[in-house]
Chains A and B, each alone.
Chain A
Amino acid sequence: MQSRLGNRTALAVIAALTVVGCSTGVSTPHATTTPTQAGSPILTTPGTSVPSASAAVAPPSGRVVQWGDSTGIVNNPDYKTGVIDVFNATNPTMTLEDTIRTNMDAALRTALAAGSVTPDVVNMAGPTEGVELALAGQLLPLDKYVAQYGWDKILTPWSLALGTVNGHVYCIPNNMETLVVYYNKTQFDKNGWALPKTYADLIAVADQVKAAGSIAFMQGNAEYKLADQWFQGEWLNHVAGPENVAKALKGTIPWTDPTIAAAVTELKNVVNGGHFTGGLSKYYTTTFSAIAAAVASGKAAMSVDGTWDLAVFQDAFKKTGQELGWFAMPDSTGNPVLDISIGGCDGINKNSTNPDATAAWENWLLTDAGQVALAKAQNNPSPLATVNAGAMALYDPMRADILTALVQKTATPGQYGYTDWTFFSPKMETYWENHIEQVWAGALSVPDYLAATQAAYEQDKAANALMQLP
């Protein structure tokens, strides 16, 4: 179990140590700070020894246009006042224009295909889309800005690698999140269910919950069909293990490998065995609010979900007065693996008339000021090599606990898992997502599914579209 108190304490201790280090003169200039070689994140407080984005170059000027989806964070009023307005106020030579678009992705793709000079910022759903647009020649290579601002030092190596295509950096990952198991702590305590230490324990607990007449995992995709991929990723990384997933992503083992097949088969068995929402047909018609309500009321014990839905669970638990807990799903060896989700990736339009100012905006987001502003607006942090503890402290405590645990995990390969929307190449991701329900329904066999996944992987490989892993 990831102890909330433990993580908070660790956060405070590390932050305090950093402050002490600072007070003893261990100060590092922003532009030249080098994080640990392994990309290990260090938690620091703002304004101390933060290896942050450089402000050494002359500030660019002019107008930068960014589009945001009407359903996304950019449409959050806090984002407008807490991030955009702060940037404009503190960077008087530049003006960031933030425009809300309905169906932004389609509007963005249309604009790019038409050769439009706007938006300057190409705001994408994740690195996979970044690769797709980079290969289509729609993005400006950012190598110049990587060198200018030291992004290769500021960002974790794995995250910058995700934005790299054919040796050139095209997008800057942001919005780092993960998936955990939310659970009803009150019910666990009352029924004597122990928190699982291994994947086998998890299934054993699920069996106990089912035997007690409750639903083990309350899940659903009625509002968002691609929620399937959350569980695909969780079971893939925790049953096959992150090492095998990394090997498959690098092509060392095929996607038809028995370890991968075992993971897909295990998920199929779990969803068909009644552990998911009491039956697969209910899974397809259950909404997120119903999921949270069921777990909060004790009708269900657990739910595998992302940090993006934490507030929904918290609201539901407030209504019932029961206690919400979370833990990282353990893998078969007992390692509590957290899957990395990069929910956004920013590039620069190749036709942008003001790429320097656009890059400056992107750089500002990576600075202390940017990270604090994002945290105040409750937007997720960027995958920085050195995480700003001051910014982290501004998050909701449980979110901060989870993100802190994630940051610690991302330092070491094998400790973190790979979500498909972050690490899978475009064609493979599309196939993987669009056909899993056929596997669950028995209309497509696991071997056939994985053979087609491998074929899609080969196509991506031939097109140089594989995601880069460190």
Chain B
Amino acid sequence: MVVGNASSFGRRRLPSGGRRRSESLGPWRFVLPLIVFQVVVVLGPAIMAVYYSFTDWDGFSSAPFVGLDNYRQLIADPDFQQAFTHNAFYILLMPIPFLLALTAASLLMRVGGRAGMVYRLAFFIPFMLPSVVNSFVWKLLLDPTQGLQSILPAIGVPNPGLSFLGDTSTSLATVWFVDEWHFWPFLVVVLFAAMQSIPPDLYEAARVEGASWWQEFRFVTVPSITSTLAFMFIIACIWCFLVFDYPWVLTYGGPAGSSETIGTLVVKTGILAGRGGYGAAMGLMMTLFAAIPVGIFVYLRRRGAEI
């Protein structure tokens, strides 16, 4: 069957210049509404935020230009420094949910059928619930008088009356725990999906070679999902700097600022206290911190890292 030849192709009329332009503009026409939307909703406010960060704007009236004053003040602001260390605390503990998720995902790989589906669903439920709902549930569970501790006397154990969210020494760790309790199932599902894409041949070959479960995990599973792991780690690092909802609902950043994050501080300062300019500077610093992991990611990829 003749499907064509050089001459037949040659007889085709090439598209005119106008048509070529039209075709090249085609995709842009589809994307244009989104671009306009992004400019209005994201780029415009972002540019305005940069501008306001150099002003003493109160959120309503004129915005007198103050140069770098807001940034100078930020560097010396003990509240901001404290909040930054709390965000850094989130990053420092980041390996914990990753290790848990890796373990859980690899175990889920071994559970097939309906049971596997039930497990996966159970793991994912915390991530599907709104953060406000999760927070209120945990607030109740952790309440020293009405929560889990109040049940202990029924089994003969005195109620220790520990106030995890009300103690300055435990509030941040408790907020982090609840936040990660919500987040790590998402990691499980993502890593599980990545593991499912690993060719079974690799595992079969490893087993033929007499590899143990741990060796399969170490030499087959982990190397095969490195890019997913790296990507999720970057995303998680960014989220660590954008933490807001859990500390806001659970503790309002307290007590005494002990669970304050930059996100909660931005809202308190920029919106509630009417210091729009200073809040904008704080928000931009938060964005800058969040961009650092992205920069590292891009840098490593350009250097040839397979992530």
Contact = CB atoms under 8 A, between A and B. Distances in A.
Contacts of B258: 441
A73 B59 CA distance: 26
Contacts of A290: 145-146
A438 B167 contact: no
Interface stretch (B20-28, B46-54, B268-276): B268-276
A211 interface: no
Nearest to A138: B60
Contacts of A106: 271
B61 A137 contact: yes
Interface in A282-335: 282-286, 290
Given A106-B271, A290-B145, A430-B273, A284 B59 contact: no
A441 B168 contact: yes
Given A283-B166, A284-B163, A109 B255 contact: no
B166 A282 contact: yes
A283 B60 CA distance: 36
B254 A284 contact: yes
A284 B143 CA distance: 10
A69 to B, nearest CB: 15
A445 to B, nearest CB: 13
A467 interface: no
7 contacts: A136-B60, A281-B166, A281-B255, A284-B163, A426-B274, A437-B254, A441-B258
A434 B268 contact: yes
Contacts of A441: 168, 255-256, 258
B80 to A, nearest CB: 13
A109 B57 CA distance: 14
Given A225-B252, A285-B143, A437 B257 contact: yes
A443 B139 CA distance: 25
Contacts of A434: 268, 273
Given A135-B61, A136-B58, A281-B167, 13 more contacts: A106-B271, A113-B60, A133-B60, A136-B60, A222-B166, A281-B163, A282-B145, A282-B166, A285-B165, A430-B273, A434-B268, A441-B255, A443-B257
B145 A112 contact: no
B161 A282 contact: yes
B255 A284 contact: yes
B254 A225 contact: yes
B204 to A, nearest CB: 54
A282 B144 contact: yes
Given A285-B143, A438-B257, A280 B268 contact: no
Given A137-B61, A225-B254, A285 B144 contact: yes
Interface string B124-162: 000000000000000100111110000000000000010
Q: Is the interface of A mostly helix, strand, loop or mixed?
A: helix
B244 to A, nearest CB: 15
Contacts of B144: 282, 285
A416 B268 CA distance: 31
A137 B60 contact: yes
Chain A contact residues (Cβ within 8 angstroms of B): what range?
20 to 34
Q: Is the interface of B mostly helix, strand, loop or mixed?
A: loop
B60 A438 contact: no
Interface in A215-253: 222, 225
Interface in B99-135: none
With a 10 A CB-CB cut-off, give which of A136, A138, A281 has the most chain B CB atoms.
A281
A106 B271 CA distance: 8
Contacts of B271: 106
Nearest to B161: A282
Contact of A284 (B61, B145, B166, B257): B166
B161 A109 contact: no
Contacts of A280: 166, 255
Interface in A113-130: 113
A132 interface: yes
A443 B60 contact: no
A426 B273 CA distance: 8
Contacts of B166: 222, 280-285
Contacts of B272: 430
Contacts of A286: 145
A430 B274 CA distance: 9
A364 interface: no
A132 B274 contact: yes
A137 B58 CA distance: 11
Interface in A414-470: 426-427, 430, 434, 437-438, 440-441, 443
B272 to A, nearest CB: 8
Interface in B157-198: 161, 163, 165-168
A430 B143 CA distance: 29
Closest A-B pairs by Cβ, 3 of them: A284-B166, A136-B60, A441-B256
A138 B274 CA distance: 14
Interface in B5-60: 58-60
Given A281-B163, A283-B166, A426-B274, A437 B60 contact: no
B60 A112 contact: yes
A437 B256 contact: yes
A440 B254 CA distance: 12
Contacts of B60: 109, 112-113, 133, 136-138
